[in-house]
Structure 1
Amino acid sequence: MQSLEGKVALVTGASSGIGAAVATALAKAGVKVTAGARRTDRLAALTGGEIFPVKLDVSDEQSVRDAVAATVERYGRLDIVVNNAGVMLVGPVQGADTSEWNRMVQTNLLGSMYVAHAALPYLLESKGTIIQTSSTSGRTASAGSGAYAATKFGINAFTEALRQEVTTQGVRVVQIAPGMVDTELASHVTDPAMLEMAAKLYASVRTLRPEDVAEAVLYAVNQPAHVAVNEILIRPTDQVA
């Protein structure tokens, strides 16, 4: 394992859930963390080490560039990027509010691509690591999750292409695919039937905690430089699909 002390990280979607847990875990490990989110008021609650809060909307390419630039200006380098920001607005195709599709594509897929694009020059310089947050929905689509799954399948494709482009240059690209995690993500669903179904499903299993996913992230970034953990699939023991 390599020491993370003094490394610099940018974590997106850090105001809650997995992003907040990852930012906290990295900071406790000695990493200087830029925590980015739209809801900057929530970032003040993050503790455990050096955490630099910045306003970041990953669907806005200029906002992404500004957050990366602010990180490098403050710390002089960038070693780790955790591309975590995302929304899950599931529902059937028939009768769907297509503005929700647009929001998911802009945030989940294009947002992660914008972050990777802006951060890559600095990661190439530091021979750093980028974590791309996918989902079990990026492996198997199901009725009602078509648009959401499409964004996660897209993340998987982009991540693998990026890996092939930069791995021989020392940059490690990691796809992490969590199953059901106890976060506020499912509560944002606007379709009443899907919201009820999600609530029942989440209540029926021992879900992952955000800290469980953060531990997986730490495992990947802690490996020695010659070891690339390219994929991590992490489900609750009770989750079947």
Structure 2
Amino acid sequence: MYDRPITPDTNVCDPCTAAVQGAATASPMMLERLLEGLPLVRRRLRRRQYVFRAGQPRHGLYLIHSGFYKTRVISEDGREKVTGFRLRGDLLGLEALDLPTYTCDAIALDVGEIWELPQSYLRERLPEFQERLTAALAGEIRRDWNWMLVLGSLNAEQRVVSFLLDLSARLSALGFSSTSMLLRMTRADLGNFLALQLETVVRALHRLQAQGLIEVERRQIRIHDLPRLRAQIALPAMH
């Protein structure tokens, strides 16, 4: 039994709230439905297994059918930056479309399945694929802008709230509960993505729990009050 999906609050005028709530409006499985029936290679992955590594020859794109994945880049001196967490319906490898090699690592955070998408084959056999690919690229750009806004204008606790609301909306769009979620990533990975220290993420979660907004049990997060949680990042209306 799934909880009711999140209903966007049309009265919210804060751009950060709108960015988070609008991040998962498109159907996550439109491309998957388009590809059903094609003889694509399907790969099962274990937790911590790489889909691809930065520098490997690019063979195509990968559509996530199940599981939870993170993408990251590593600098020459070894510094890591988590660039995103990917769910069913997301495409991996978009950032390397015009390059001979992949530019980031894509790692499974739990057991999952991906579909290999050879671009040349799909371009010839499925003309609609190019349109979907363009839409996916545009969606990635908007998502990046949204997170730039969040990281550049919100404090630590609000960034954590924004992440929880974003994940809630994405899971709801996939048919899962919008108020009960299992964080597949570590607190350190979450902090890296939100540009926060591990200790700051832990303190923010504890404060939200103390306010009765969420319940934290290891990696399990339960949202008790979605409207109040959204209010944490909403600006008052301008008159």
TM-score above 0.5, yes or no: no
TM value normalised by structure 2? 0.27
| Higher relative helix content | 1
Name the larger-Rg structure.
Answer: 2
TM value normalised by structure 1? 0.26
Q: Which has the higher contact order (CA 8 A, sep 6+)?
A: 2
